[in-house]
Chain A
C-alpha cells in the first residue's frame, strides 16, 4: 500500500499540489484522473522520487519514502516499476536488453537465467519474438508493452503508469488496460495509473482519485463515480463522454 500524507509541491512559489492525502491499496488498480496541468504527473513524480515534495510524506507500506537515506531509497526503488507516457525505452538497447537491464544491474542471475526471465516477461505482455528489435523498429503499442515488461522484470511491488493509453488506438488501449489489470491481480501489486481515459477507469479501475487544481477533489470507488454530486468531477466525466 502507498499512502500520501499532506503532500504539497511548489515550483517557484506556485503551489501545484495542495495538501494531498490518499491511500492506494495493494492488489488494486488505482486510478488518478483529472485534466491536463492539474498536477497528476507531479503527484506521480513525487511518489516515485523524481521530485521531492515541498511538504508531506509518501509512505510505502509504512516506510517513509521522503525521509530515507540513499541505500534505503534504492531498495524501495527496486520494488518500483514505471511505465512512462513516452515509454522511455533505451534507444541504444534492443528490446531484450531493455527488459534485461534491471536484472543485469541488480541481480546476480546468470545470462541463461536472465534470458529466461526476459522471455517470461515478454510472454506476459504477448511480445515474444521481438527480442532483437530496437525500440525505433516497433510500434507505439508494442513499445508500451515492452515498457510494461521492463517494469515487471524485477519482482516489483508497485507499478506506476503515466497515461499508458496516450497516443494509442482504442483497440490497443484496451489490450494495454487488460494487461495492466491482469498483471496487478496476478502479481498482487499496487498499481497506480494516471489517465484521462474514462473507458480505462470504468473497465479496469478499482479506486479513483480525482485531482482538480492540485487538490484531492474526490476519491472513492469507480462504481460511485456516477452517483457523486461533485460538480468538478461530473463536468470532467461529462466532457470525456463528448470527446
Chain B
C-alpha cells in the first residue's frame, strides 16, 4: 500500500509540473544551465568509465573465447554489441543515478528544508515546474548524448586494450564490429537512455521535493533517490529487453 501511495504522489508531482510556465525565457535559461550541470559536469566520469568498461570487456571476452576455432573479429563484434545494448546505457546511467540523482535530490531537498520552495510558492511560482522540469528536460537531452559518447569510447577502450595486449588488431576489432552492427541496436540503446534519463531526473527531483525535516532527511532523500533510481533502471532494463528484443 505504501508503494502505491508514494507512486500516486509521484504521478501527481509529475502532473503538477506541467502547468503553464510563468515565463518561458526563464525556463529556457534554467534548462541550459541544467544541461551544463548534467551533461558537461558528468562528462569526465562517463569518459573514464566508458574507456575502462570497453577495455575490460575486451580482455574478458578474449579470455573466454580465445581459441583457434573462433575468429578474432568475433571479440570485436561482442564488445561492440554489448556496449551498445547494455554496458553503455545501463552502466553509464547507474553511475549517473549516483552522481546526478543525488545532486538533484540534495539540491531540491535543501531548498525544501530551508523554506526556499515555500518562498517560491508564496511568490506564486509553480515550484515543482520551476525546479524539476528544467532538470528533466536537460536530462532527456544530455543523458542520451552521454550514452552515445560512452558507446564510442567503450569501443575505443576495446580497441586500445586489444592492441595493447596483442589479443587482436584494430582492423580485426572493427571488422567484427562492422559485420555485426545493426542500426536497431543503436535505437534500442537510445530508447533505454531516454527512459533512464527520465527515471533519474524525475525520481530524484521527487525525492528532494518531498523531503521533510532537516539535514539528516536531506541525506536520506539523496540516498533514496539513488537507490530507487537504480532499482527502477534495472527493472525498466529488463522490461525494455523483454518488449523490444
Name A's B-contacting residues (CB within 8 A). 48-50, 70, 73-78, 80, 82, 84-86, 88-91, 101-102, 104-106, 160
Contact = CB atoms under 8 A, between A and B. Distances in A.
Nearest to A104: B26
The 8 A-B pairs at the shortest CB distance, nearest first, are namely A77-B124, A88-B115, A88-B119, A74-B124, A82-B122, A84-B115, A105-B22, A88-B116
> Most chain-A CB neighbours within 10 Å: which of B110, B114, B121?
B114
B123 interface: yes
A75 B174 CA distance: 62
A7 B223 CA distance: 39
Contact of A84 (B22, B110, B119): B119
Contact of A105 (B26, B111, B114, B121): B26
12 contacts: A50-B118, A75-B124, A84-B119, A88-B114, A88-B118, A88-B119, A90-B111, A91-B110, A91-B111, A91-B114, A91-B116, A160-B122
B36 to A, nearest CB: 13
A48 B111 CA distance: 19
Contacts of B123: 77-78, 80, 101-102, 105
Interface string B18-30: 0100110010000
B48 interface: no
B61 interface: no
B125 interface: yes
Contacts of B110: 91
- Which interface class (under 10, 10 to 19, 20 to 34, 35 or more) fits B? 10 to 19
A75 B22 CA distance: 12
Nearest to B107: A92
Interface in B26-56: 26
A42 B116 CA distance: 17
Contact of A70 (B19, B22, B118, B122): B19
B122 A86 contact: no
A46 to B, nearest CB: 12
A15 to B, nearest CB: 21
Given A49-B121, A74-B124, A106 B116 contact: no
Contacts of A91: 110-111, 114, 116
A194 to B, nearest CB: 14
B32 to A, nearest CB: 15
Given A86-B115, A88-B115, A90-B116, A80 B26 contact: no
Nearest to B22: A105
B165 to A, nearest CB: 47
Contacts of B118: 50, 84, 88
Contacts of A84: 115, 118-119
Given A73-B124, A75-B124, A102-B123, 17 more contacts: A48-B122, A70-B19, A77-B122, A78-B123, A80-B122, A82-B122, A86-B115, A88-B118, A89-B116, A90-B116, A91-B114, A91-B116, A101-B123, A105-B23, A105-B123, A106-B23, A160-B122
